[in-house]
Amino acid sequence: MALLTLHRTQSICTTPDEPIPRRGRLQKRESFALVKGAVLLVEEGEREGLHEETVPSLLGPRQGDRASDTQRRHLHAMISLLRPEDTVKLAVRLESVSPVRVRYLLIVGTLIKKQESLLLGIDFPGLNSDECTIGLVLPIWSDTQVYLDGDGGFSVTSAEVTRIFKPVSIQTMWSVLQALHGCCERAVRGAVIPGCGLEWAQHYRENVESDQHCLNEWAAMTGLESVRKDTGGRSSSNRESVEREIKAQLRDIMRTEDLENITSKQVRTSLESKIGIDMKDYKEYIDNEMMVTMAQMDKPSRILDYLYLGSEWNAANFEELQKNNVGYILNVTMEIDNFFPESFTYMNIRVYDVEATDLLSHWNNTYMFISEARKSGQAILVHCKMGVSRSASTVIAYLMKQQGWTLDQALNHMRERRPIVQPNEGFLKQLHTYSGILNARSLSVRDFLLLNEGGVMEEEAWLIRECMLMFLLNQAAGSHRTPARMKLVSEAL
């Protein structure tokens, strides 16, 4: 996930006699999180420009080197279709019947009436195109309903008009569902009933310019049969058994697969291969279980009063971070940017989630960083991509040292608070080694005294200690005999 920031001039309603230059002084600073298939607004607020005149619409990537150039260009093109006072809350890429065309679904809000939102369907003629058109305008009313369609997508019914959308990945589907439910709740609170409000949607209806092929695809209702209730003849006991197996296998798939690059159809195919039966009758169950698992991954898990474990999405949720009194963020990834460097104290451990990665040599520093957050009276979020392996291992190491817990105790506590926690095999081995290091530290303070009480000579006690040191040095170094690891064990003893 990378961060992209843009500044746009926003038009503000003014009285007829108000000087025109005043309008050019207000800028909107918007930051977007870019992942494959999705663009998420992480706006902190609006800022007033320093100049009397402002150039409207420009792109300014803060950490743009790792962001997809295609996504940046697409975002720029889509925002150019919006009125200055409107904002893209979320953009997700959808599947298309055409192998060439690219489709996005935008959730758009407006500055003046924040309880109102609408959906825009955007069409690009090709992946490398810098121009796009509007193909669908769907207002979000207080009666709008959103459902999983049981076939890897979801339906939106608004003012008796239903449309089916199929995002390109599980992660993008989860993101858009959460955003849509939020829009629906705001519409209910604001009493945005059909035919009342959303006058600004007319601007976009008048600018629908996609060609007929695109319009047909936006209007198509294919896939509706997938929302019908299953009528299979399986016995209830057999179905319950299959559903239990699906749930277990699904959790394993979602822990190990990149959810930005896999669709629910691909998950269903994988389940068919693992379980050995046709999953046609279980489409709806699979989609619902995926969303349950995503919900567990979506919110940060409170491990201790001051310590949260979460995902990249939690790291990009400014409102959630403030609500949890987070002042420190430990980013244990190579691929994810720091989203709010001006607002939080960051520490970065730039590593990948592979078994060969050396995390052990960082755990003294991460322990001190988490301790600094605790002493400050603020909370800390430790995150990686999904809060499953890298960041989880780092938090387990902290718990073992801070709480004096065994590896099993720390791991059990973590899984009670966040069931999806699963360090990779390489990290588990390093945690076992770290456990030995912590035990050896305790031995040097306590158990050597017991050895002496038992009649062991001081020279023999120190010899035992030195042998343990050499053993731990070899175990900690393994194939990564680095000075940092050697220092780590030496300091512990």
pLDDT tens by residue, 70-124: 888 999 999 999 999 999 998 999 999 998 999 999 999 998 888 899 999 999 9
Q: Comparing 290-294, 401-405, 475-479, which segment has the lowest mean pLDDT?
A: 475-479
CA-based nearest residue to 39, from 79, 9, 83, 7: 79
Q: Which residues contact 249 (CB under 8 A, 6 or more apart)?
A: 271, 274, 275
360 burial (CB, 10 Å; 0-12 / 13-18 / 19+) is buried
pLDDT at 486: 55
Q: Which residues contact 403 (CB under 8 A, 6 or more apart)?
A: 409, 410
Alpha-carbon distance of 60 to 138, in angstroms, equals 30
Neighbours of 89 (CB within 10 A): 19
Question: What's the mean pLDDT in 211-220?
Answer: 91
Token representation of residue 114: 């924040």
pLDDT at 45: 41
Q: What percent of the chain has pLDDT over 70?
A: 72
Band of residue 16 on the pLDDT scale cut at 50, 70, 90: very low
Find the radius of gyration of the CA atoms of the chain.
27
Token representation of residue 11: 């038009």
The one-letter amino acid code at 248 reads A
Question: What's the mean pLDDT in 462-483?
Answer: 56
**Inter-axis angle of helices 264-275 and 236-256, to 10 degrees?**
120
Band of residue 25 on the pLDDT scale cut at 50, 70, 90: very low
The one-letter amino acid code at 468 reads M
pLDDT surpasses 70 at 152: yes
pLDDT at 43: 54
- CA distances 442 to 311, 361, 401, 493, Å, are 34, 19, 11, 9
Tell me how far the alpha carbon of residue 165 is from its chain's centroid.
Answer: 21
pLDDT at 172: 84
Band of residue 462 on the pLDDT scale cut at 50, 70, 90: low
Question: What's the mean pLDDT in 16-29?
Answer: 43
Band of residue 238 on the pLDDT scale cut at 50, 70, 90: confident
pLDDT surpasses 90 at 268: no
pLDDT surpasses 60 at 197: yes
Is 457 or 285 the better-scoring residue by pLDDT? 285
pLDDT at 58: 32
Q: Comparing 49-53, 266-270, 350-354, 425-429, which segment has the lowest mean pLDDT?
A: 49-53
Is 343 or 222 the better-scoring residue by pLDDT? 343
Say if residues 224 and 163 touch (Cβ distance below 8 Å): no
pLDDT surpasses 60 at 125: yes
pLDDT surpasses 70 at 417: yes
pLDDT at 30: 72
pLDDT surpasses 60 at 445: no
Selecting among 132, 183, 214, 384, the annotated active-site residue is 384
Residue in the structure block whose two tokens are 């609408």: 118
Q: Comparing 24-28, 185-189, 212-216, 313-317, which segment has the lowest mean pLDDT?
A: 24-28
Question: What's the mean pLDDT in 408-428?
Answer: 93
Alpha-carbon distance of 169 to 161, in angstroms, equals 25
Pairing between β-strand 326-331 and β-strand 379-383 as defined by DSSP bridges:
parallel
pLDDT surpasses 60 at 458: no
Band of residue 247 on the pLDDT scale cut at 50, 70, 90: confident
> Buried (b) or exposed (e) across 50-87, using 16+ Cβ within 10 A?
eeeebeeeeeebebbeebbeebbbbbebbbebbebbbb
Token representation of residue 277: 């039966």
Say if residues 238 and 127 touch (Cβ distance below 8 Å): no
Question: What's the mean pLDDT in 364-392?
Answer: 95
Neighbours of 37 (CB within 10 A): 22
pLDDT surpasses 70 at 61: no
Average pLDDT of the chain, as a whole number: 79
pLDDT surpasses 50 at 491: yes
Q: Is 183 a catalytic residue?
A: no
Band of residue 1 on the pLDDT scale cut at 50, 70, 90: low
Question: What's the mean pLDDT in 36-64?
Answer: 44
CA-based nearest residue to 268, from 278, 255, 256: 278
